[in-house]
Structures are given as structure tokens and as C-alpha cells.
Structure 1
Amino acid sequence: MKRLAALMAAGALALGLAACGSSSGPAAEAPASPDGTWGVEAEGQPWMNLGSDGKISGSDGCNNLVGQWTQKDGVVDLGAMGSTMMYCEGVDSWLSGAATATISGEKMTFSDAKGDQIGALTRSK
């Protein structure tokens, strides 16, 4: 009988210690990786490639874009992007004004320096 009581006590202790190591809520998900191409590389269309090396290349539909990006807490910081300065009639060059971006599924939503949403692109590669 003492042996059974000792085994039950040891089992209860083991369960108690195991419970201490578990989390009480769902595991935090890692932010989605922005690496890849967003939008379609077609004339007059905005697209952006975020390289795994932290480099940006792309187009606002008219001008070429270059720069560097970082990600922290799920927000992609696009830093200071450089661009060509061509005039293209009828092209909305909103992407050249992007400062940050967030990802939800396969959609990247871009915001300007004031935090206003200015557009979105879908992952293509």
C-alpha cells in the first residue's frame, strides 16, 4: 500500500512539473516572411521584390525602385528607397511612397510615412 501511495505521489509530482513548462495560451506565430516578389512584373504595374539579403528591387509601374528592408514585430520597414524620375502618363505611382508594409496571408499592404494605407500587392513568387 505504501508503494502504491509513493507511485501516485511521484506521478502527481511529474504531472505538476510538466504543467509548469507548458504555455497557457496559443504559441506566438512568427511573422510571415516578406521574401519574394509582390505584384506582377508587367508594364505599368507596381511590383516589388524583397530579397532574402534585405535588398529591394521593383517598379511603381513607371519608375524603378531600389532600397533595403528590415522586419520587426511583423512590420516591414522599407527604409529610404531610391527611384528613377521618369514621367509616365496615366500611371499611379503610389508604391514609390511606401514606407512600411504588413503581411496578411498572401497580401502585403503598404503604408506611407504618415501611416496611411496607400495600396496592396499579392505575392506572386
Structure 2
Amino acid sequence: PGVALLQTHQPEHAVIRAILSGRDEAFWDAEAAARQAAGMPPFGRLAGIILSHPDPQLVADFARHLAANAAPLHQAGAELWGPAPAPIARIRGRYRMRMLIRAPRQAPVQAAIADWLAPHRPPTNLRLAVDIDPQSFL
């Protein structure tokens, strides 16, 4: 027992309402239903793709090229969202682009990503990172 202070710009948010009402189980039930309806984890799969390069135009062009050639992902039942600038768009002089892949839980996500990326040779000095079931979107 003790005292907790809570400050928010969104007092009507579902999380805040659940905390204040003491009905956290109701919040978790609603959150699980929303995630299931949207095909989001744990009811679906996500993969994050981050591309980075010192030249912002080059990384954007290659990201668009990959997005335009995403047939292996679609064949696996996956959706590709993006590309878009990453939430932190530049780190240590490298410009970053982000893509997200959403797929059904049973979809072979890793194999589909490998098939998608294999025929495309990245430009020199371009970094491409794949994060399966990411914990952070930065």
C-alpha cells in the first residue's frame, strides 16, 4: 500500500480509466479483443524492417523498390506497411526508413521475408535489419 501520483494528457484514455476504476481485467479483455480483431500479436505476427544509409534519397529509393516488389510477402498472406521515415529518422548520420509486416499467426514470416529480400542487392553501405515480433518501433 502507498500513494501513487499519475499525470496524463489523456485522462479519458482506456488505460487511465481502467486504472482509476480498478477494472484492469476489463481493460485487458478489451485490449485482447481489439488485438485479435486487428490480427496483432499475440494473435498475429509482426516484423519490423529498418533500412539506413548516409544518403536519404538512396535509402528511400531502395525502400520503395523493396515495397514495389513485395509479392513473396503477399503470397504468404502478409501485408507490408510503408516505407516511411523511422520514428527516429536519423542516427549518427544515417537516415532511416521503416517498414512493418503484419501476417497471420501461422504464416511462415521468416521464410517469406527471406524470399522477398533475396533477389534484391542492397546498395553499398546500406544496412537492413529485420526484427521479428519487435518489442519497440523506434
TM-score, length of structure 1 as denominator length: 0.30
Structure ranking higher in strand proportion: 1
Between 1 and 2, higher relative CO (CA 8 Å, sep ≥ 6) is seen in 2
TM-score, length of structure 2 as denominator length: 0.28
Structure ranking higher in helix proportion: 2
Q: Which structure's CA Rg is the greater one?
A: 1
